[in-house]
Amino acid sequence: MNIREVQLLERKLPPHKPGEVLARLREPQDRVHIEDVKIVETFDIPRRTPGGELVRLQLPAGMSTAEGIAWLEKDRRFEYVTSNDLRTPCEAAPTPPPIPPLPGKISNDYDPVRLYGLDKIAAPLAWEKTIGSSTGPVIAVIDTGMDLTHPDLVDNLWTNPGEIPGNGIDDDGNGVIDDVHGFNAQALTGDPTDDIGHGTHCAGTIGARGDNGQGVVGVNWQAQLMPIRTMVNGSGTAADNIRALAYAAKMGARITSNSYGGEYNQAERDAFANTNMLHICAAGNEHNDNDTSPYYPDRLPIGYPGNYEYDHIISVAATDARDRLASFSNYGPKNVDLAAPGVATMSTVPGGGYETKSGTSMACPHVAGVAGLIATLYPDASNEQIRTRLLANVDKVPGLKDRVATGGRLNALKALEKDDIAPDAPAGLTVKPDGAWLDVSWVNSGDDGQQGQAYRYHVQCGNYHSTGAAGESGKPQSVRIPASEGPVQVRLEDNVGNLGAAAEAAGHPSIKVLRPNWNSDGRWAQVDEPGRPGSWTDSPNGNYAINTNSSLTSDFVDVSSLQKPVLRFAARYRLEPGGDFVYVEVNKKGSDSWKKLEDYTSFRDWQDHTIDLGKFQGEVRFRFRLKSDGAKVEDGFWLDRPEIAGG
């Protein structure tokens, strides 16, 4: 074991639980062949992505986490190995606000002064449409637990229909004894009782019982709240969260509320990817730009799990009573989706009491609560439709522009709009080829047929898809997309997820596409990714190695005959942020030098990339080159459909 490698890795590991690691087996059957390291837990996560099981491994006595990772990463039985990182609540110091109340359906325990956040999101008006339901969607509160006897929560607790209370038997066979009202993911028991109040507070915002004359009211007057305790004294681990997600999925949760955070963790990311619930997550309280993910000294980026790039994850920033971004709140116009009230939020705490707390932890359950109202009123709504309702119907706030993706703050009333009319097909679709590009133009229809303004457009041509905010009805709009031989389709989507009929036009039959042979230096190989057969990767057998310098290089191609040529490809990557890079480089025939075109580091899911080649003439070749340092390694770079295109 390389001492220098271990020392570098030790510096870069986030806070974690010592003595154990998380790993993913390469194949399910590999579990039976592991004898030299102890598997102490196999996580019961559905496998929606290829590969083996997620497991927790106990390291030999005296071995540090860095030593264990450095040792096991060289073992081909494991796809990856990572530390069991710590997770903490996203709570900040409170500041009190003034309030302007709204009209609407009022609960006898609703106070617009103490519960200003409900006014800000127009909850009283939303309650005229639905107050939630005691038989509605199950909302899992993954947190510090819940006061199971709190008078404002007890009537909204989820009850496990397959469990008999107090008989000491696992009646439903789910692996937990007497989990009548939830799960303790640390102690592996059916007692999720809260120890510090954070989870109880979040649960109250989602679903403190309404109109019962007690203390406060939640976004849902009636609900099914499933408490899952993952933290003790404000501290948990990625493994605890994975266990919680598995339990929530198995027991029928529709929505999860996640008011905790920490650094990127690959095993936790896989667990979120493989669970089909809608996950609402706090953006974090470091006043950090989650898009740029600045690296703490020798640390990974923060803002997770909200930063995991999946459509069924929604990241929430916090605002105050004046709709200002909270001074502590993380933000990011790409990775943080919307804001919600999270300063001086009054809610339930253990012992039957009520307190004011602040944090993106308090903003997150406002959004989870509204997601619950949507799923109650529209029980057949998909994750994507609930997401669209939440994000397309915010109140635009000037101070949130370029701070969150929607530029706005949650609005419950708008999110519940009844709308069965899809946009009409766009009119006047034209497609103009320009080198390797297509300039696509159309005239927008509306939100309902021709009326109102649609939420966003979708443009599809071959493998390429573009989406963005739709313009006014009757007004022209245009977008530039990569050219393909196939037809171009444009359709509009409204603010509740109704997708209109498509307008269609011919693509670019004269587009020239060069697909050269690609040559590996022995480490890159082709694999079959889901939906992407024949993709290239630098690490087909798990994580790449330390101190790697490996390349995938094309044959020479002549770009002289192409108008406005580009190199285009799709890629996803998991690279140690700021330490390991993949460089895209070009070499002119007859020259020994390579010129950098682009570089990639950190973590991104599949995206299309285009690099302009207009400065180059004659014969050139390209390469994708991985260069890693001597510390932490990751899953690597995955490449699909690399090609050179032009008019």
DSSP annotation of 30 reads: G
Q: What is the C-alpha to C-alpha distance for residues 231 and 284, in angstroms, rounded to an integer?
A: 17
Reported for 531-535, long-range contacts at CB under 8 A and 24+ positions apart, including other chains, are 532/570, 532/606, 532/640, 532/641, 534/640, 535/638, 535/639, 535/640
Do residues 53 and 242 touch, judged by C-beta distance below 8 A? Answer: no
DSSP annotation of 519 reads: E
How many Cβ atoms sit within 10 Å of the Cβ of residue 310? 14
Helix residue ranges per DSSP H, 393-455: 412-415
Q: What is the C-alpha to C-alpha distance for residues 636 and 396, in angstroms, rounded to an integer?
A: 39
Tokens 């004011």 found at: 356
Spell out the residues 6+ positions from residue 443 whose beta carbon is closer than 8 angstroms to its own: 426, 427, 428, 474, 475, 476, 477
Spell out the residues 6+ positions from residue 135 whose beta carbon is closer than 8 angstroms to its own: 224
Q: What is the C-alpha to C-alpha distance for residues 261 and 283, in angstroms, rounded to an integer?
A: 8
Residues with a catalytic annotation lie at: 143, 198, 361
**Coil, strand or helix at 246:** helix
Give Dmax (Cα) for the chain.
Answer: 83
Q: What is the C-alpha to C-alpha distance for residues 221 and 208, in angstroms, rounded to an integer?
A: 6
Q: What is the C-alpha to C-alpha distance for residues 634 and 374, in angstroms, rounded to an integer?
A: 38
Q: How far is CA 400 from CA 204, 247, 407, in A?
A: 26, 36, 5
Helix residue ranges per DSSP H, 224-305: 238-250, 266-273
Pairing of strands 437-443, 427-434: antiparallel
Spell out the residues 6+ positions from residue 62 whose beta carbon is closer than 8 angstroms to its own: none
Tokens 């991985």 found at: 626
The tokens of 67 are what? Answer: 């030593």
Spell out the residues 6+ positions from residue 398 whose beta carbon is closer than 8 angstroms to its own: none
Whether the bond between 565 and the residue before it is cis, its omega within 30 degrees of 0, is no
- Which is nearest to 610 in space by CA: 574, 636, 644? 644
Do residues 251 and 160 touch, judged by C-beta distance below 8 A? Answer: yes
Tokens 């999946």 found at: 310
Amino acid at 642: P
